Amino acid sequence: MKKLFGAAIGGFALLLAGSVQAGDPKAVEEALKQALPKIKPDSIAPSPIAGLYEVTVGPKLFYVSEDGRYLIQGSLIDIQAREDLTEHKLSEARLNALKKVGTDNMVVFKPTLNRHVVYVFTDIDCGYCRKLHSEIDQYLKEGIEVRYLFFPRAGEGSDSYFKAVSVWCAKDRNEALTKAKRGETLERKECDNPVDEHLALGTAMGANGTPMIVTEKGDVLPGYVPATRLSKLLNQNDGKRNDAAGK
């Protein structure tokens, strides 16, 4: 599915098969079914541009003409407002995709007083991932809840992948993750786990390195961000959203 989807929307525009009635969201859905039968859109809705529909699939978004013939991948910019409308929608799509995974399928470190939440795609053997986790108490002190998802960069079947599985299958996942991040050897374990789901989601979000932080607003922060700086960024984002809501 990932290869099919990537090939299908890899270019700027794609001619879709089929001739369907214009102006009907079902026409878009039908055209996508014919051209990409393995892909099921989460939503199809009119875009700000007449005759163009926005389609979300997991954490991805693209645009399809109302006759279902053309597909466009890229950012839709409101020049007058100087706003990236696509990024705003992508933020929502990322959060919806993360909600579908659910916190029960993440390793969560909770602060005493919760002010913010971040999702962190992590590789157990990544140096900056280990640095971030070595400072986990600082993030918790800032009131930041850290929800970990596994993203072993070497892929399925790698040493980092099996370390992630062993952490998940441990009796105490938080303790096991901390030990693994310190370089301690864990007992190899196997069980039903969400590692493949995490890896697929991170790939769909465009992760090409770790750690990759996704904020509670759905924004992506690539790389390590110190706790105090992250707290400031999250507080600033709250202020900007509140100001926007008051306009």
- pTM (2 d.p.): 0.83
Residue 191 annotated to the active site:
no
Residues composing the chain: 247
Residue 123 annotated to the active site:
yes
Has residue 21 got a pLDDT over 70? no
Number of domains comprising the chain: 2
Q: Domain check: are 16 and 118 in the same one? A: no
Catalytic residue among 123, 125, 147, 219: 123
Can you tell me the mean pLDDT for 213-223? Answer: 96
For residue 67, name the pLDDT band (cuts at 50, 70, 90).
confident
According to the model, what pLDDT value does residue 6 have? 47
Can you tell me the mean pLDDT for 188-207? Answer: 96
Q: Report which listed range, 11-20, 67-76, 211-220, is most confident.
A: 211-220
Can you tell me the mean pLDDT for 92-104? Answer: 96
Owning domain of residue 232 = 100-246
Residue that wins the pLDDT comparison between 39 and 153: 153
Can you tell me the mean pLDDT for 29-47? Answer: 84
Q: Tell me the CATH number at 58.
A: 3.10.450.70
Q: Domain check: are 105 and 79 in the same one? A: no
Triad 151, 155, 157: Cα angle to 5°? 120
Residue 182 annotated to the active site:
no
Q: Domain check: are 119 and 51 in the same one? A: no
Residue 2 lies in a domain: no
Can you tell me the mean pLDDT for 221-228? Answer: 96
In the chain, where does DSSP find H-type helix? 2-9, 25-35, 85-101, 127-134, 136-141, 159-169, 173-181, 195-204, 227-246
Mean residue pLDDT across the chain = 87
Has residue 62 got a pLDDT over 50? yes
Residue 153 annotated to the active site:
yes
Residue that wins the pLDDT comparison between 21 and 48: 48
The last residue of one of the domains, among 18, 50, 85, is 85
Q: What's the DSSP call for residue 157? A: T
The last residue of one of the domains, among 41, 59, 85, is 85
Catalytic residue among 69, 94, 126, 147: 126
